[in-house]
Amino acid sequence: MTAGDLVIVANRLPIELADEVDGCRRWRRAPGGLVSALESALPDRKAVWIGWAGTPSDVASDTSSTGNPPVPAGTTDGAYALIEVPLTRADVEHFYDGFSNSALWPLYHDAIATPVYHRIDFDAYRRVNRAFAAAAAEHALPGATVWVHDYQLQLVPAMLREMRPDLRIGFFLHIPFPAADLFMQLPWRRELITGLVGADLVGFQTSGGVNNFLECARRLLAWPIHDDRIRLPGTNNDRRSCVVGSFGISVDWPRIDRIARSEATVARAAQVRAELGNPHRILLGVDRLDYTKGIDVRLRAYTELLREGRLDPAQTVLIQVATPSRESVDEYQRIRDDVELIVSRTNGDLGQIGAPAIHYVRQTQPLTELVALYRAADVMLVTPLRDGMNLVSKEYVASRSDDDGALVLSEFTGAARELAAAWLVNPHDTDGMKDAIVAAATAGPVERKRRMRALRSRVRNHDVEHWTREFLAALTSITRDHGAE
């Protein structure tokens, strides 16, 4: 049986089905920061990744009905083993679209959209979390480290602890943890908090998340809390603590830097500019098409600037890449409609034949193309209403090996804590945002360079490998201390 001394548990496996040139569908490595981050920590370890493969088990994994190949047992380079947790269509509807993305996602993002609480959804959440915990219990070697990821799996730490008390368990939340007054809405608030404190270490993106979580733990649990440590009940021998900390995630700097400096990328960036008619200023947005990302507010601000003549439509172009996301959830259909209405109105009113004011691309792009766009963009617009971290802002910075470009960044992202040299904006304040966009678009080369150098130095020294090392080192030292208590 496959077993590891480092077990990653995440909603998705790091693979995806792709149509190859020979017409066959094959599994390939899914690109993504988390995958590269964790790979940098894996070389010396026997690692296992547990997750869902992305297609419901009652439709898909069977080759005869769909033509899909079976999920591979490991990555092609043998870096780690893959264990699939199958989800049915009902699980996807209630656990994933339902409780995870219609209750937790909006609630944890300050209820920007109204969270929907259905008991049938939570039942599925509990059931699926138990299946993930059981898979981790089965595939972890004695005393192994298990690292559980994100809001879809908050019950896993306590469930796994009960099945396998010998394990060292860490949990990291990629999205914000909300203020206690919001969290208290949840009908299953105590169960979720208890689920999380099953871990030895619970990590958040920012100190705000840590403080909110500790406040909820104080209100909901009767256990003593000292500083960042919750003392759980138990006899002297098996008494343990759950430690809480902030660990801001980041990007794979060496990989992005390599792509950004390549001749092909530099040439592609120049080609993009030429194809747009060599405008004076290119503005760029890159986001999943999600209502938390503030795509609509940024497009409205930009349109007003064009209408008022503060930006010249003949000299300015905005590219918005909006990657399709969670399309079966109603709120996502609504934000898509809102964005597309603004794009078509602005282009209808202010664009010219062959020269639209907004280039809107609702398609997933290869990373190489994204990096070329980052290099071509004079101004990067990152304006979420709330975001745990926001990797796009850090990718932009990592791509600018020419020390040029201007980042406009929402204060409500985790990244804003680290990237203070950006033009910081409040996305609820349209006038303030318009002023910041104009300031970034008209800043002189000396100011752009000064700010970009400061941003680059921060991200270079705190890349994703740093994040992985810090989290795993903290987890090891906490559990070593427990042993000594």
Q: Interface with ligand GDG by CB under 6 A: which residues? A: 31, 33, 174-175, 249, 286, 288, 321, 323, 364-367, 370, 387-392, 395
Residue closer to ligand GDG by CB (options 306, 408) is 408
Number of Cα atoms under 13 Å in the Cβ half of residue 410 = 26
CB of 366 to ligand GDG, least distance (A): 6
CB of 355 to ligand GDG, least distance (A): 24
CB of 399 to ligand GDG, least distance (A): 10
Query: Which residues lie across from 379 on neighbouring strands?
Result: 283, 406
Taking alpha carbons only, the member of 46, 122, 119, 56 closest to residue 90 is 56
Residue closer to ligand GDG by CB (options 391, 408) is 391
CA atoms of 313 and 317, how far apart (whole Å): 7
Helix (H, G, I), strand (E, B) or coil at 309: coil
Residue closer to ligand GDG by CB (options 423, 434) is 423
Residue closer to ligand GDG by CB (options 346, 393) is 393
CB of 12 to ligand GDG, least distance (A): 12
CB of 209 to ligand GDG, least distance (A): 11
Residue closer to ligand GDG by CB (options 156, 311) is 156
Taking alpha carbons only, the member of 350, 362, 257, 249 closest to residue 309 is 350
CA atoms of 77 and 335, how far apart (whole Å): 40
Residue closer to ligand GDG by CB (options 241, 413) is 413
Residue closer to ligand GDG by CB (options 61, 325) is 325
CA atoms of 430 and 428, how far apart (whole Å): 6
CB of 238 to ligand GDG, least distance (A): 33
How far apart, in Å, are the Cα atoms of 34 and each of 12, 249, 463? 11, 9, 12
CB of 308 to ligand GDG, least distance (A): 30
Q: Provide the residue type at 442 as one letter.
A: T
The token pair at 313 is 């439509």
Taking alpha carbons only, the member of 121, 40, 35, 23 closest to residue 82 is 35
CA atoms of 147 and 246, how far apart (whole Å): 15
Which secondary structure element, helix H or strand E, spans residue 130, and what is its range? helix 119-139
Residue closer to ligand GDG by CB (options 101, 479) is 101
The torsion of the CA quartet 389, 392, 395, 396, rounded to 10 degrees, works out to -120
CB of 350 to ligand GDG, least distance (A): 26
